Structure 1
Amino acid sequence: MQPATRTILIGGTLSAALAVPVLAAAPATMDVTVTIPQLKVAEYHKPYVAFWVEKAGAPAKTVAVWYDHDMKANEGTKWLRDVRQWWRASGRSMTFPANGITGATRAPGTHKISFSRAQLGALAAGEYVLVVEAAREVGGRELLRIPFTWPGKAGAGGRAAGKTELGTVSVAFR
């Protein structure tokens, strides 16, 4: 496929025009919006949440993990294995805290995280699934899957709705 060209005039004259290739820009960011529902329970704990990308035949790529990393002696990591599917897919091979991936647990509400093309750039073009899993102490566990195509097209995305530990999770490209 040939890139398009744009004519640039230098000094306002066509005789000095240059043909410069213009590559179609793929979206630079994948935005993920996650709703953590307010639960009416006697003992509420913020959920641990893991986000990873899967492609058939390829290893899972963790893109974010929310957990209680403020506990003394990194104690919060011992409950990461409760986020079971993620733990089996890639969590147990990670060292915590993981720079650029781990962050604090979130309170109920809507939260947006963004992944740059640089963070996802190593992904080969193709069909993927963003998997979001939440687990809560004295609570439940929930996993949602949202298929997407990489590289994404601006305005494209998908969504899934949880029933207990997660509310709506959506993916959008810009």
Structure 2
Amino acid sequence: MKRFAYIAAILFLCSGSTATISNAEEMELSVEIPQLNVSEYHRPYVGIWIEDSKNQHVRNLAVWYQMREGKEGHGTKWLPDLRQWWRKSGRTLDVPVDGVTSATRPVGKQTLTFTDSDPHLKGLAAGNYTLVVEAVREVGGREMIKIPFTWPASASQQASKKGSRELGMVELSIKP
């Protein structure tokens, strides 16, 4: 009998958590790092953040940079090259930031998923926002893409923009 009660309790808890997850607001973002045919290629530093309708920084979602020691020191030295991110948020951060900063990403499609219970989005007030993706590459260029969105979503939202050099396709999908 105790075994049956134990199993029933586990099933009850699992079914409750599944219902919570399926009702969660979800943001999925994919950022394409394009393959460039250049003689000296370096992976780009990328800053991804949310701004409010007044273009004020609200949340950092990701910052990709060189995290290991190299010939020229630690990669934090070059974070100010992400000019817009640095001016709006970066200069006040003590990097690395758990769950935000990570190593640069290779060529290809990189996908990030966040839910409304995730620290990146938890407590984000209802309103109109802009997703900003900025990329800069040593011996390369700089590029920034902005995609507007509404949070929370009353209906599914899909938006995308294609970069011209340092970024490929950036896609944003929000599901209520």
TM-score range with shorter-chain normalisation? Answer: 0.7 to 0.9
Q: CA-to-partner distance for each residue in 1:28-63, whole Å, 9 max, x for gaps? A: 321101111000000000000000000034443211
Rounded Cα–Cα distance in structure 1 between residues aligned with 2:24 and 2:150: 12
Contact conserved, 2:25 with 2:152, CA < 8 A, in 1? no
1:133 and 2:134 matched: yes
Equivalences for 1:24-173 in 2 at 5 Å?
Answer: 27-57=24-54, 58-71=56-69, 75-117=74-116, 118=118, 119-153=120-154, 155-173=156-174
Contact conserved, 2:46 with 2:104, CA < 8 A, in 1? yes
Q: CA-to-partner distance for each residue in 1:47-101, whole Å, 9 max, x for gaps? A: 0000000003444321110111122697110101001011001111001110010
Deviation, 1:155, is 3.1
TM-score, normalised via structure 1 length: 0.80
Rounded Cα–Cα distance in structure 1 between residues aligned with 2:100 and 2:74: 18
Relative to structure 1, is the Cα distance of residues 159 and 153 closer, same or farther in structure 2, using a 3 angstrom cutoff? farther
TM-score, normalised via structure 2 length: 0.79
Q: Which amino acid aligns with 1:32?
A: L
Stretches of structure 2 that go unaligned for 5 or more consecutive residues are 1-21
Contact conserved, 1:48 with 1:83, CA < 8 A, in 2? yes
Matched residue SS, 2:74: helix
Q: Which amino acid aligns with 1:30?
A: M
Rounded Cα–Cα distance in structure 1 between residues aligned with 2:103 and 2:73: 12
Partner in structure 1 of residue 14 of structure 2: none
Relative to structure 1, is the Cα distance of residues 152 and 26 closer, same or farther in structure 2, using a 3 angstrom cutoff? farther
Query: Which structure shows the bigger proportion of residues in strand conformation?
Result: 1
Cα RMSD for the two superposed structures? 2.2
Q: Which has the larger radius of gyration?
A: 1
Deviation, 1:121, is 2.0
Stretches of structure 1 that go unaligned for 5 or more consecutive residues are 1-24
Matched residue SS, 2:124: coil
Q: Which amino acid aligns with 1:44?
A: Y
Deviation, 1:154, is 5.4
Q: Which amino acid aligns with 1:69?
A: M
Between the aligned residues of both structures, percent identity stands at 47
Rounded Cα–Cα distance in structure 2 between residues aligned with 1:75 and 1:154: 43
Contact conserved, 1:60 with 1:89, CA < 8 A, in 2? no
Relative to structure 1, is the Cα distance of residues 154 and 33 closer, same or farther in structure 2, using a 3 angstrom cutoff? farther
